[in-house]
Amino acid sequence: MKNDVQIQASIIDELRWDPILNAAEIGVTVKNGIATLSGVVDSYAKKIAAENAAKRVTGVRAVAEDIQVGPSDALQRSDTEIAQAVLNALRWHAAIEEEKIKVRVDDGNVWLEGEVEWEYQRSNARNCIEHLSGVRSIINAIVIKPRTAAKLLDVQQKIGAALQRNASLAAKQIEVSVVGSKAILNGTVRSFAEREAAVMAAWSAPGITEVDNRLVIEVPEFAFED
C-alpha cells in the first residue's frame, strides 16, 4: 500500500494529468491518507476538478479542500450576467424542471433553492452550472420532496439489490438500513469511487430524501508514515 509521500506524489501527478488544471497553482499535503488541497484558481470548475482528481487516487481516505476561486479579468461577469447564464443552463437541461428552481447570485456565489422529486435532479442542477464563467461557489439548497412515500422494506431491498448489481462494489461489506425517508450506509469500501457509487445507488431509490453515509475507506494502518 502507498504511504503518505507516495499518495501526495500520485495526487500531484493526477493534477498534472488533468488538462484543465495548472498543478503549480495547487498545494497538496497528505497525513494518514487525508489529502489537503490549497491554493487559488481562476474558476469554480478548476476547484471541482482538483477535488475530483484527488479522490481518484488510490489510498486517499478523505479530501479537505481549501482552494479559493480568485478573480480573473478574462472570466469577470456581473451577478446579473451570471444569474442569466444559470437560468439558461437550467432551462436547456432536459433532466431539470427549471421552473421549480429559484436562483440567487451575490458576488459570484450562486444559491439554488426549490423542490425536486429526485436527487439526480438536485445534483444535475448543480453540475450543469459548475463550468459557467464568473461562478465562485455554489450553495445547493434544493430540497428533495417525493410525491409519494415508499414502503421502508421495499426501499431497503431495492438499494441492497442495486449494490449487488454494481460490479465495482464489494456489496457484502455494506449494510443498508432505511429509517423514514433516510438511507443509512454502514461498512467499508476500498476507494472513494466505491463510496460514491454506493451513495448514488442509495439516492436512486424511490422516496429517499437523505443518505447518511457512514462508509469507511478501508486502508491498512501500516500504509501511512508520520
- pLDDT exceeds 60 at position 222: no
Q: What is the mean pLDDT of residues 89-114?
A: 93
Query: Do residues 115 and 99 share a domain?
Result: yes
Query: Do residues 81 and 127 share a domain?
Result: yes
Answer yes or no: are the C-beta atoms of 163 and 198 closer than 8 Å: yes
Query: Do residues 128 and 157 share a domain?
Result: no
Give the ranges where the chain is alpha helix by DSSP (H).
4-17, 44-55, 79-91, 119-127, 152-165, 192-203
- Transcribe 25-66 into DSSP letters: GEEEEEETTEEEEEEEES-HHHHHHHHHHHHTSTT--EEEEE
Q: What is the mean pLDDT of residues 142-166?
A: 84
Query: Do residues 16 and 64 share a domain?
Result: yes
Query: Do residues 80 and 139 share a domain?
Result: yes
Q: What is the mean pLDDT of residues 79-98?
A: 92
Q: Is residue 206 part of a domain?
A: yes
Which residue, 144, 163, 190, sits at the end of a domain?
144
Which of helix, strand or coil describes residue 67?
Answer: strand
- pLDDT exceeds 50 at position 47: yes
Give, as one character, the DSSP assignment of residue 170: -
- pLDDT exceeds 50 at position 108: yes
Give the structural domain span for 206: 152-218
Which residue, 46, 70, 94, sits at the end of a domain?
70
Our count of domains for the chain comes to: 3
Q: What pTM value is reported for the model? A: 0.78
CA atoms within 13 A on the CB side of 199: 17
Query: Do residues 130 and 170 share a domain?
Result: no
Which residue, 70, 91, 119, sits at the end of a domain?
70
Answer yes or no: are the C-beta atoms of 205 and 185 closer than 8 Å: no
CATH number, position 105: 3.30.1340
